Amino acid sequence: MRPRRILVPLGVAAVIAAGALVARGIGGGAAPDGDGPDGLPPATATVTTTDLTQTVQVPGVLGYGTPVELPAKSDGGTLTWIAAPGSVVGQGQPVYAVDGEPVVLIHGTVPPYRTLEPGVTGPDVAQLESALAALGYTGFKVDDEYHGSTADAVEEWQDDLGVEETGTVGTDEIVVAAADIRVAVPALVPGATLGGNAPVLTYTGTTPVVVVGLDPAQQHLVAPGTAATVLLPDGTSAAATVSAVSPVATAVDTGDPATSSAVIDVTLALADPAVAGALDSAPVDVGLVAAEVQGVLAVPVGALVALAEGGYAVQVVDGADTEFVPVETGMFASGLVEVSGAGIEDGTVVGVPA
């Protein structure tokens, strides 16, 4: 004789993935909790084919990225002007002024380390010439050699800036950054004396980003190009993509050596930077995909019924008839659970609590 399956109340919550599962159950041949006298469940749901995604929430900060110090290359001199916090400085524009002379931003990666003048060669020369060309100056060839024609273009540039036309560029006349910058915090105020390579200000990029200090144990969740969801302070969600992952972990100062920890900085680019609005800095939550499955059969978690011998079943409803069908469960996510079993297919109707 085939043994009869006994359905019993689970009675406890099993915390799985995104939520707590409390399975229904029956015992002693009775109908599951909430079933009517005709044995039909109080409500039904349909098995659907869908994609399921489990996410983990990690805290982050919406802002403009980690500030970078901008050291002064002038040994002496008085700071007479500095760009305001939050202002954006583009190529060819002054970042600050020393003794009334502007110190101008150019794009590049080679920091100023020598005077650029006729006869010198190198990537810093090509960098300056590229900047001059981008600013509309002509009459020279963009290469790594500082010719007389380069000096002529520099003199024209200096004339437009209102400074002495020397045809040479000193280390204290320019600052170099990979792109336009946004002034974060001035380190000095007008009237200060420069020297010692001390920072004048800190700056960031010009586009809002999200930075997460990720536990190294979760590093497998991210890589450049990984999609994420950012929960903004106003309660709305915004799409984002991981743009950079630090290759090293940095220590977090907790004030207690016994509880010290480390994090990996992860930078995310917003799909629409405009969603940041006027926020300069704000805490956010970032949803990262921990696991996902595609094209699976799923039912509401409440459709599961615990079996006395272990495992789960669903109550299949066919008109006025019902049958408890054992199922294998897979991923739990967003109130749904992946299921498979004999006769379970897309469109199958199952019982759920009211």
What distance in Å separates the CA atoms of residue 50 and residue 83, rounded to the nearest whole number?
53
What distance in Å separates the CA atoms of residue 175 and residue 177, rounded to the nearest whole number?
7
Domains of the chain: 14-54+292-352 (2.40.420.20), 57-64+209-290 (2.40.30.170), 68-204 (1.10.101.10)
Q: What is the predicted pLDDT for the residue at 19?
A: 36
Sign of CA dihedral 310, 11, 322, 345: negative
Q: What is the predicted pLDDT for the residue at 33?
A: 54
Task: Name the residue among 214, 320, 216, 220 with its Cα closest to residue 268.
Answer: 214
Distances (CA, A) of 198 to 76, 79, 136: 11, 12, 33
> Which residues in the chain land under pLDDT 50?
1-23, 27-30
Q: What is the predicted pLDDT for the residue at 299?
A: 98
As a three-state string, the secondary structure of 138-191 is CCCCCCCECCHHHHHHHHHHHHHHCCCCCCCECCCCEEEECCCEEEEEECCCCC
pLDDT digits (tens, 9 = 90+) for 168-186: 999 999 999 999 999 999 9
Tokens of 164: 């002495």
pLDDT digits (tens, 9 = 90+) for 211-268: 999 999 999 999 999 999 999 999 999 999 999 999 999 888 767 766 668 999 999 9
Q: What is the predicted pLDDT for the residue at 10?
A: 36
Q: What is the predicted pLDDT for the residue at 39?
A: 74
What distance in Å separates the CA atoms of residue 197 and residue 25, rounded to the nearest whole number?
73
Q: What is the predicted pLDDT for the residue at 76?
A: 85
Q: What is the predicted pLDDT for the residue at 278?
A: 83
